[in-house]
Structure 1
Amino acid sequence: MTISSQHNERFDYLDAARAFALLLGIIFHASISFLPIFIGWAVMDISTSSTVSIFMMISHSFRLELFFLLAGFFSHMTFHRDDVPGFLQSRLVRIAIPFVIGWFLLRPLLVSGWIMGAESMRGKVNILNALRAGFATLGDLPKDLLVGTHLWFLYYLLLISLSIVLMHSIFHMHKSTEQKIVQFAENTMHWLCSSRLAIFAVAIPTAACLWFMNHWGMDTPDKSLVPHIPVTIIYSGFFIFGWLLQRQTNLLENFTRLSWGKFALCLLAIVAANLLARFEIKFAHPHYQLIKTGFVFSYAIMMWSLVSLTIGLFKHFLNRPSKTVRYLADSSYWLYLIHLPIVIWLQIAFAELPLHWSIKLVAICAITIALSLVLYDVLVRSTVIGMVLNGKRKPRVR
């Protein structure tokens, strides 16, 4: 998924922001085994820390929201350039195909990781038997077809993209209605990106959706192909926000402008959300509903401010051509698709080692990214796989 303008100009800082969002996902998943409580992950390490919980809460609040906003921005660019047929073809090639093929290739490896994780906690791991059992689950199809991997975000991206095309087709049949909707959307975006109250304004509907999550914070809808309504609304909101920003690109600078006030608001929201999150399971608390209200609003402000600040920081520091950044941006889609089985297997291998959790986490992330980059350069970048993921084949780094 290369990020480029319709005039072949690359937005280098948005390339970097997108790569960051996906790489942060690798670190997020690599951190799960170091949580101080067992949440049903493949394995739990002997070294844990509450710091990991804080990191995961913060990173989970905005990394995919950032990705969906950027996806909306550049989806509109593709839509404007190629119109409906070209847009649908690009969604099929770069989203649907990786989602389906990736599921069939990765699901058995992930299942085998869970089997090995359970075995490791009993002191014995049989890799070959775990792999056999993992691939044997494909014989249960169509039960749980396309369910149960980290690729669910592609499913939602595809649903949202197709919904946008459908709405465009409906509105396009009624020109006067379409013009009114477009004008209203543009005026709303102009106000949101210009007002000092913008973060609060978008946080209100976001907080309303967060209220209906199964858990405090963003749910991970990987258990069913039936769309999770609150999650769908939030990711759709970020996608549409990015879509509309591309219609008025001057507003992107307003939305991502850095200020000490925005940093302070973000920090305050992070502290508040982390403090209030401790009351999630205290259902008998006399002020439970009020505390949850404070949490979802703080979480929503944290979400939007982190997305805004992240893009702003990358624009400030990386708004220039860089071969390294471009290579990482080109490879980041592949890295995220392939990383989870590698991460889980490494977590199992490291789980019983008498090392500090931070050392293990750095090692797992470094090995995963290094191995994935080697596979990308050797098997993907200059092949048909690279053409599917990046839009065209690119020369290897030799």
Structure 2
Amino acid sequence: MQTQPLHPPTERLHGLDAVRAIALLLGLIVHAAMSWLPGAQYFWVTHDTSPSAWAGLVFYVPHMFRMLLFFLLAGFFARMARERLGANAFMRDRFSRIGVPLLAGWFPVLMAILGVGAWSLWLANGGSMPPTPEPPPLSPRNFPLTHLWFLYALLLCYAAALLVRASVGRSSIAMQFADAITRLLSGPMGPVLLALPLGLAMALHAKWYAWFGIPTPDQSLYPNLAACIAFGSAFGFGWLLQRQPGLLQHWATRWPLHLALALLATAGCLHYIGLAPRLEVAPAGLETFAYAAAYAFAGWSWTFALVGLGLRFLSGYSRVRRYLADASYWIYIVHLPVVMALQVVLSRVHWPWLVEFVLALTVAMALLLASYDLLVRNTFIGARLNGRRKPRGLEQR
């Protein structure tokens, strides 16, 4: 069974583009909130003198779903590109637009983050550097990918998808089975079915800090099992959804249900674990699994709801949304040291946390948009990140 296409294959999917940009830009909000979290001195480059548990709400809710949402859409758009380009051209395109930014951006971003961290330590120590231990040598198990881990994970997902596709070939039985699974997962029970394996993986993860959700695979070239299940299943589901894109129309009509379930599950998780970060390892047991499953269900319900909302309300062409969709990739790659530097500056003042947070977010966004417009959009960097831009008259396609 094949459903009708969501849009003609040459038409840009503006609603999904907008939701993908939202997923990336939410990362800016999440990271901007971190220095105001209670206990930030134990896990972040700087901590503010005006912490607030309400900053925990700003961090906690988008962190539940933003990367699930991103990898779902990444899988959807990846298969679309694979079908349009063919396998060899697809691999070249993904290396150019994902691999090269990772290789070119990782070291400068890491050095900028370390520089901001050293500046923060210098200020906190009264203008001199405190003694610090030597970092362990780099190895595959100890490799600071920073927030650019998502690029590395995408490359792994592309490789896995192409290997599975090559292994299966054109088996009609395999395709029919995949389509049946996709229809099941895209239905009303989808968030439950997708949440159960992820919840189990998180609950069984060694040293799982439950408040922070899916363990971020940013410190090793070997991603942890929970992250593999979370982002691998999201990418694979998105890839398979692109075979039957008409299924997404059901999400556009069911978004109120998924949003209500997301809000209820999120409220339940927050009631259990609290607004402020818990910095202790979750104990093994049924209670931890129940929380992990509820957390995963909330994340997937948010994902279904936001995709549905995007298709329902953002599918028309908008120059502003198109611009932000193009800019969001660059913004996410370079945002972290900029945000951290602003957090260090604002840690020296004593204003209400919300004023400082909004100021950090506003200044960071202004600087990042300016850098995109002046240094990236109409240059070889923009062509590398976003592909060649169409003439203005063709942008709506």
* TM superposition score normalised by structure 1: 0.88
1:116 to 115, 119, 124: 119
Count of residue pairs the alignment pairs up = 377
Residues 282 and 370 of structure 1: is their aligned pair in 2 closer, same or farther, counting only changes over 3 Å?
A: closer
1:347 CA displacement: 0.4
Any gaps of 5 or more consecutive residues in structure 2? 1-5, 393-397
> 1:268: which partner in 2?
264
Range 23-32 or range 147-156, more displaced: 147-156
Matches within 5 A, 1:1-398: 7-38=9-40, 39-124=42-127, 147-172=144-169, 175=170, 178-194=171-187, 196-213=188-205, 214-216=208-210, 217-277=213-273, 289-393=285-389
Give yes or no for contact 2:25–2:328 (8 Å, CA) kept in 1.
Answer: yes
Could you tell me how far apart the structure 2 residues matched to 1:184 and 1:395 are? 42
Residues 231 and 256 of structure 1: is their aligned pair in 2 closer, same or farther, counting only changes over 3 Å?
A: farther
CA offsets per residue over residues 132-187 of structure 1, 9 Å max, x none? Answer: x9xxx9xx778999624210110011001111111111222xx5xx3222111101
Could you tell me how far apart the structure 2 residues matched to 1:152 and 1:255 are? 29
Could you tell me how far apart the structure 2 residues matched to 1:144 and 1:262 are? 38
Q: Percent identity?
A: 35
1:381 corresponds to which letter in structure 2? R
CA offsets per residue over residues 13-46 of structure 1, 9 Å max, x none? Answer: 1111111111100011010000011332110001
Please state whether the residue corresponding to 1:247 is helix, strand or coil: coil
Give yes or no for contact 2:255–2:306 (8 Å, CA) kept in 1.
Answer: no
Could you tell me how far apart the structure 2 residues matched to 1:298 and 1:284 are? 15
Give yes or no for contact 1:382–1:394 (8 Å, CA) kept in 2.
Answer: no
Please state whether the residue corresponding to 1:150 is helix, strand or coil: helix
1:264 CA displacement: 2.7
2:67 corresponds to which letter in structure 1? L
> 1:130: which partner in 2?
none
Give yes or no for contact 1:257–1:309 (8 Å, CA) kept in 2.
Answer: no
1:339 CA displacement: 0.5
Give yes or no for contact 1:72–1:240 (8 Å, CA) kept in 2.
Answer: yes
CA offsets per residue over residues 254-292 of structure 1, 9 Å max, x none? Answer: 23433544333212210111122259678898xx62321
Could you tell me how far apart the structure 2 residues matched to 1:158 and 1:373 are? 26
Calculate the aligned-residue CA RMSD, in Å.
Answer: 2.8
1:314 CA displacement: 2.0
CA offsets per residue over residues 167-209 of structure 1, 9 Å max, x none? Answer: 111222xx5xx32221111012112323x32222222122122
Residues 395 and 183 of structure 1: is their aligned pair in 2 closer, same or farther, counting only changes over 3 Å?
A: closer
Could you tell me how far apart the structure 2 residues matched to 1:282 and 1:336 are? 29
Give yes or no for contact 2:209–2:281 (8 Å, CA) kept in 1.
Answer: no
Give yes or no for contact 1:109–1:341 (8 Å, CA) kept in 2.
Answer: yes
Range 201-210 or range 63-72, more displaced: 201-210
2:92 corresponds to which letter in structure 1? Q
Any gaps of 5 or more consecutive residues in structure 1? 127-132
Range 180-189 or range 288-297, more displaced: 288-297
* TM superposition score normalised by structure 2: 0.88
Could you tell me how far apart the structure 2 residues matched to 1:77 and 1:125 are? 53
1:179 corresponds to which letter in structure 2? S
